[in-house]
Amino acid sequence: MHALFAREGERMRALWKGAITFGLIYVPVKMYAATEKKDVKFNYLHAPCHTPLRYVRYCPHCAAEVKTDEIVRGYEYEKGQYITVTEDELAGLSGDKNRSVDIIDFVDLQQIDPVYFDRSYYLGPGEGGKKVYELLRQAMQQTSRAAIALITIRNRESLAVIRPTGQALVMETMFYADEVRAVEQVENIGGQVNLHENEVKMAVNLIDNLSTDFEPVKYTSTYREKLHEMIRAKIAGEAVLEKPAAPATENVVDLMAALKASIEMAKEERGNRKKRQVVGKGS
């Protein structure tokens, strides 16, 4: 079955097996990808014949295609000057820490800015580790703490945060502090701006009217849905109709007028949403 039409609900396969350690406690775990990109992937084709293009590793000095076993890692320390590093040398840097998640500290999760988060993974109990896994999860839940840890996967060490969610533990790999750019580098932030008190009050009013509980399932990618429809139509040999361009709208210059209009729209939408909820419960 093509990936575009693949079925949901398939069991996840563990990407990695190892153990969480803190103090003298050893927690066998399995790691699973918590997210997946739903982007539609395209292949590059040769336009005249629609043959998929083949990418080769080519050495211009030897004027030849390079085999995989002839490739080494190189670091360019000066323009055109490289030192090479072997896999064994990289493995030696991590020592015996492969397949380990070493907890360093327990912290308040609210203190961590989300800008530090990179990728998310679920951690499930490994063989014989269900009890100690549950012990760690419940202890973290009761103390409202998250764990800062170092995880080594394939000879590469990463910073990570582990937190309880529902019946499981979630781990996010993190950027180190020197990998996060300072917000002060953003142009035109800070300084004094003249805001009228009523403008602030109305902006707060608008936010209050637009506030609701977070329901992730209600946010969908309209672009991806349209792309799927276009692909299905092309597969079926149907003509793809172009949507007419939306008429240009006038810029609203008066900030107060824009805030008032936005508040009225938010109130109307909130009322319509409540009506739909009542109808849904009655059906």
Averages of pLDDT over runs of 10 residues in the chain (283 residues) are: 53 90 91 92 93 93 94 94 90 72 94 95 94 95 95 84 96 96 89 86 90 87 89 79 55 71 82 69 59
pLDDT score of 242: 56
* Distance separating alpha carbons of residues 142 and 162, to the nearest angstrom: 15
The CATH code for residues 16-35+96-179 is: 2.40.290.10
**What is the rounded CA–CA span in Å between residue 226 and residue 236?**
15
Contact assessment for residue 106 and residue 147, using Cβ atoms and an 8 Å cutoff: yes
Q: Which sequence spans correspond to the domains of the chain? A: 16-35+96-179, 53-92
